[in-house]
């Protein structure tokens, strides 16, 4: 009986091996693949470089509440807050982040900042090609992290933004 048991075990194992042999390959052909991502394929949940989102009016969602910085286990987020004014409205609430830096030397892509964010302002994008020869380049500023201004902004602004501020936002 022992013999039969061994044979069946081997057969069971080899069946998986042979089965896999005939399936298509799942290795991505990065960086020699097609398209702008050069063959890289992401799961939706992939945690890449952060994106600071804007709301439907093109205003920044970030209200500089510092919760991401507080949640960050590697202490890589640096924020300076400032107050919105009628003439210079950056975010939807009273306050906005004048400076928002993420130090990718330190970031461990844990996603705690995204979880902490009460306004869904910070999200993980799929950006991943962060390698650089100079460590100082890894400190990303707000301008590098911000999402683009939605195309409809300018025609469909609900918030009370002055013309000058609107122009500034569009041309940025």
Partner 1 sequence: MADAPKLVNITVNGKKTTAPAGTLLIEACKQIGIEVPSFCYYPGLSLQGACRMCLVEIEKMPKLQTACTTPVAEGMVVNTESEKVVQSRKAMLEIVLANHPLDCPVCDAGGECELQDMTYTYGAAESKFIDIKSHRDEQQWSPVVFFDRPRCILCYRCVRVCGEGMDVWALGVQNRGQGSVIAPNKQDHLECEECGMCIDICPVGALTSGSYRYKTRPWEMNHVGTVCTHCGDGCLTTVGVRRSDTGMEIVRCDNRDKSGINGDFLCVKGRYAFDFAANQERITQPLIKRDGKFVPATWTQAIELVADKFKQVVQKDGPQAIGVIGSNRTTNEENYLLQKFARLVLGTNNIDHHRTADFPAFAKAISENKARTASMRDVFEAPAVLLIGNDPTEQHPLLAWQIRNNVRLHRSKFYIVNSQAIKLRRQATQFVQIPTGAEARFVDFLSGNDAAAGTLTQAGASNENLSQLRDALKGEQNLVVIFGSELRGADISALVKFAAPQNAKFICLGDYANSRGAADMGLFPDLLPGYATFAGAARYQQEWGADVPALVGMDLKQMFGAARDGKLKALYVVGSNPVSRYALDPFVLQAPFVVVQDMFMTETAIAADVILPAAFAYEKSGTFTSTCGDLQMLRKAGDVVSVKSDFEIVVRIAEKMGYDVRKLVPFGKGLRADMGQSRGAQSGEADRHSVWLQARGLEPKVSPFDPLATLDEIQRLIPGYDVSQINLVSGNDEHTQLVQIQNASIPSHPELVVPSNDTLFTSGTLGRYSTVLNSVMERRATGKEVAAD
Binding site for partner 1 (CB under 8 A): 63-67, 69-70, 79, 81-83, 93-95, 118-119
Query: Quick one: 107 or 121, whose CB is closer to partner 1?
Result: 121
Query: Quick one: 77 or 165, whose CB is closer to partner 1?
Result: 77
In whole angstroms, the minimum distance from the beta carbon of 101 to partner 1 comes to: 12
Query: Quick one: 65 or 165, whose CB is closer to partner 1?
Result: 65
Go through 122-151 and write b for each residue having 16 or more CB atoms within 10 A of its CB, e for each that does not: bbbbeeeeeeeeeeeebebebeebbeebee
Query: Quick one: 62 or 145, whose CB is closer to partner 1?
Result: 62
The CA radius of gyration of the chain, in Å to the nearest whole number, is 24
Cα distance between residue 140 and residue 68, in whole Å = 15
DSSP reduced 3-state for 83: strand
In whole angstroms, the minimum distance from the beta carbon of 94 to partner 1 comes to: 5
In whole angstroms, the minimum distance from the beta carbon of 89 to partner 1 comes to: 14
In whole angstroms, the minimum distance from the beta carbon of 103 to partner 1 comes to: 14
In contact, 159 and 90? CB cutoff 8 Å: no
Q: What is the chain's percent helix, strand, coil content, to nearest 5? A: 25, 20, 55
Cα distance between residue 166 and residue 79, in whole Å = 24
In whole angstroms, the minimum distance from the beta carbon of 35 to partner 1 comes to: 38
| CA pseudo-torsion sign 150, 153, 157, 161 | positive
Query: Quick one: 41 or 70, whose CB is closer to partner 1?
Result: 70
């Amino acid at each position: 009986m022992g013999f039969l048991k061994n044979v069946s075990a081997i057969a069971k194992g080899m069946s998986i091996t042979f089965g896999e042999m005939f399936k298509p390959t799942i290795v991505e052909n990065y960086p020699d693949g097609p398209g702008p991502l050069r063959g890289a394929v992401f799961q939706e949940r992939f945690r890449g470089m952060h994106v600071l989102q804007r709301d439907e009016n093109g205003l920044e969602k970030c209200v500089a509440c510092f919760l991401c910085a507080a949640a960050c286990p590697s202490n890589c987020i640096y924020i300076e807050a400032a107050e919105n004014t009628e003439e210079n409205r950056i975010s939807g609430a009273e306050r906005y982040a004048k400076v928002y830096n993420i130090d990718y030397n330190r970031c461990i892509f844990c996603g705690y900042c995204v979880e902490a964010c009460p306004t869904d302002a910070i999200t993980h994008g799929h950006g991943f090609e962060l390698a650089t020869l100079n460590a100082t380049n890894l400190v990303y500023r707000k301008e590098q992290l911000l999402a683009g201004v939605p195309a409809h902004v300018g025609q469909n602004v609900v918030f009370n933004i002055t013309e000058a501020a609107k122009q500034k936002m569009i041309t940025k």
